[in-house]
Amino acid sequence: MKKYLPKGFTMIELLIVIAILGILAVAVLSAINPLEQIRRGRDTSSRSDSEQLVNALERFYASRGFFPWQTSEGDTTGLAWTASTAGGAWTDILGDLMNAQELKSGFTARITAGTANPLYLYHNGLSSGNSVYGCFLPQSNSMRIGAAADCALRTSATDFPMTDACGGDCATGTYTSGMTCMLCLP
């Protein structure tokens, strides 16, 4: 007569397998860093919004010969460092861009919402180096490092808002915790 052996796992075996799976899950989560991935996604959205805004301003300029904050061709009025949540000048600029059909109302509502990462615009008004800059403060470490490197590359640019976008500590090109280096386009 054969002796009956129960089939299945013992409680100890199950606990060991669960512990190993838990350790693997912690290792995978620490490698992926979900909070950094969420921040990177938000930064990518801010970068895209900034690109769309700068492109809309450049299209407006190409078709009219002046920017929305200027009155006519030859006007050298610049745009001071301005945040998208500030209202005032932003409301007028976005209204002009929507009237010119360069932006949709949904886009403007999204970038001026209180939950959005504020965008900043700057234009020095000079005819040489006539760039419009769209900037934002990155939240992810990878974009913060890129912003510091970008600031270091722009130290000699005469039309770039170095003081507002990079402060004094970002010109080195090396990001350290607590720095407020903006990522600017173009």
Four-CA torsion 155, 90, 108, 141, nearest 10 degrees? 30
Q: What is the pLDDT of residues 62-92, one digit of tens each?
A: 888 888 888 888 878 888 777 777 667 778 8
Alpha-carbon span 132 to 38, nearest angstrom? 28
Strand partners, 79: 123
Segment 112-133 mean pLDDT: 77
Pair 85, 114: CB distance under 8 Å: yes
Place of tokens 């919004």: 49
Q: What is the pLDDT of residue 120?
A: 86
The SS3 of residue 124 is: coil
Average pLDDT of the chain is: 81
Number of helices (H) and strands (E), helices first, in the chain? 6, 4
Q: What is the pLDDT of residue 8?
A: 76
The SS3 of residue 33 is: coil
% of the chain at pLDDT higher than 90: 5
How many Cα atoms occupy the beta-carbon half-sphere of 140 within 13 Å? 18
Find, among 66, 69, 122, the residue nearest to 94 by Cα.
69
What is the CA 141 to chain-centroid distance, rounded? 12
The SS3 of residue 158 is: coil
Phi, psi values for residue 114, rounded to 5°: -65, -20
Q: What is the pLDDT of residue 176?
A: 66
Which pair of tokens denotes residue 180?
């407020």
